[in-house]
């Protein structure tokens, strides 16, 4: 039975094959698992600064599986972000994502980095006052992540139509992620009190040491996201999950260019 179907398929004209092949394959583009989408195809107005595809992150280099600076998510998560974006746009604000789907190979690389005392370059600005060897036990790095299920996103809020931030220089000596915004690595985010991926209690969403204005900005992000089904991780003001889409299945496919 199977061999007869194969012979029949081989007699189809090339034009007919193009019609029945999956869209990504017919066009030579990347293929995503069922239910996953590129955020740019859902809402291109949402900013993207995918940190683990570059060097401005706590390991200081691109992580395995990040072959392109693209946000990939489950479709329902991306559609919910589109609704958040629509509400923020009325306040002349925009979302900007730092990380979306994360291959499990990248999660493993994070854990390996935390256990390697000789890992370079020096990225201690991301964990001020802490020992790198303790980051795993303190819960800042985990062996599993909702990012690998496509249902978590790290993001911030930026002024709509804000000018691009200064260029990141991997050889520069930037200040602590918990220090004044002017001394941190360049970013066009509203000042939330810390930078993204800052391993510090100051990153706790309701930390009392930040200014009133910084607290208001965090609450704006948290409350707006909550109205559309997202749940904030209390120890990271930037991290949100979308429980309604969670299947508990982790993925390891790479993030490729669209």
pLDDT at 106 over 50: yes
Rounded CA-CA distance 28/46 in Å is 26
Average pLDDT, the chain: 90
Nearest to 99 by CA among 32, 153, 36: 153
Domain ranges of the chain: 1-31, 33-245
Supply the pLDDT for residue 192: 98
Rounded CA-CA distance 229/241 in Å is 9
- Measured in whole angstroms, the distance separating CA 118 from the mean position of its chain's CA atoms is 27
Q: Which has more confidence, 168 or 13?
A: 168
pLDDT grade, residue 47 (50/70/90)?
very high
Token couple for 5 = 């179907």
Lowest-confidence segment of 24-28, 85-89, 161-165 by average pLDDT: 24-28
Rounded CA-CA distance 235/183 in Å is 23
Q: Which has more confidence, 31 or 14?
A: 31
| Tally of residues, the chain | 258
Burial code of 168-177, b = ≥16 C-beta within 10 A, e = fewer? eeeeeebebb
**Over residues 24-33, mean pLDDT:** 60
Supply the pLDDT for residue 27: 43
pTM of model > 0.85:
yes
- How distant, in Å, are the alpha carbons of 86, 94, 99, 159 from that of 188? 19, 11, 16, 8
Rounded CA-CA distance 69/239 in Å is 18
pLDDT grade, residue 163 (50/70/90)?
confident
pLDDT grade, residue 29 (50/70/90)?
low
What CATH number was assigned to the domain covering residues 33-245?
Answer: 3.30.1380.10
pLDDT at 18 over 60: no
Supply the pLDDT for residue 19: 35
**Over residues 143-155, mean pLDDT:** 97
- How distant, in Å, are the alpha carbons of 5, 21, 123, 186, 212 from that of 175? 64, 51, 10, 11, 22
Strands 231-232 and 239-241: antiparallel
Nearest to 199 by CA among 117, 119, 142, 121: 142
Predicted confidence (pLDDT) per residue in 207-241, tens digit: 999 999 999 999 999 999 999 999 999 999 999 99
**Over residues 105-118, mean pLDDT:** 95
Rounded CA-CA distance 245/229 in Å is 10
Rounded CA-CA distance 211/157 in Å is 17
Contact by Cβ (8 Å): 11, 30? no
- Measured in whole angstroms, the distance separating CA 123 from the mean position of its chain's CA atoms is 19
């Amino acid at each position: 039975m199977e061999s007869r179907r194969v012979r029949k398929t081989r007699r189809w004209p090339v034009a007919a094959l193009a019609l029945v092949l999956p869209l990504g394959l017919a066009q030579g583009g990347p293929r995503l698992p069922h239910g996953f989408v590129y955020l740019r195809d859902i809402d291109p107005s949402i900013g993207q600064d995918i940190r683990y595809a570059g060097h401005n992150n706590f390991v200081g280099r691109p992580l395995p599986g990040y072959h392109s600076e693209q946000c990939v998510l489950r479709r329902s998560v991306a559609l919910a972000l589109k609704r958040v974006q629509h509400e923020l746009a009325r306040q002349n604000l925009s979302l900007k994502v730092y990380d979306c789907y994360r291959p499990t190979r990248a999660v493993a690389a994070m854990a390996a980095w935390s256990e390697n005392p000789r890992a370079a370059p020096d990225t201690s600005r991301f964990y001020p006052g802490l020992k790198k060897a303790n980051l795993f036990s303190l819960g800042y790095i985990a062996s599993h992540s909702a990012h690998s299920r496509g249902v978590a996103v790290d993001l911030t809020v930026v002024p709509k139509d804000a000018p691009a931030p200064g260029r990141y220089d991997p050889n520069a000596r930037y200040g602590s992620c918990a220090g004044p915004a002017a001394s941190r690595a360049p970013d066009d985010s509203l000042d939330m009190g810390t930078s993204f991926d800052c391993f510090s209690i100051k990153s706790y969403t309701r930390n009392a040491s930040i200014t009133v204005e910084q607290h208001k900005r965090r609450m704006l992000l948290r409350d707006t996201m909550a109205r559309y089904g997202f749940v904030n991780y209390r120890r990271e003001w930037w991290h949100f999950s979308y429980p309604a889409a969670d299947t508990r299945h982790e993925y390891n496919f790479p993030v490729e260019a669209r």
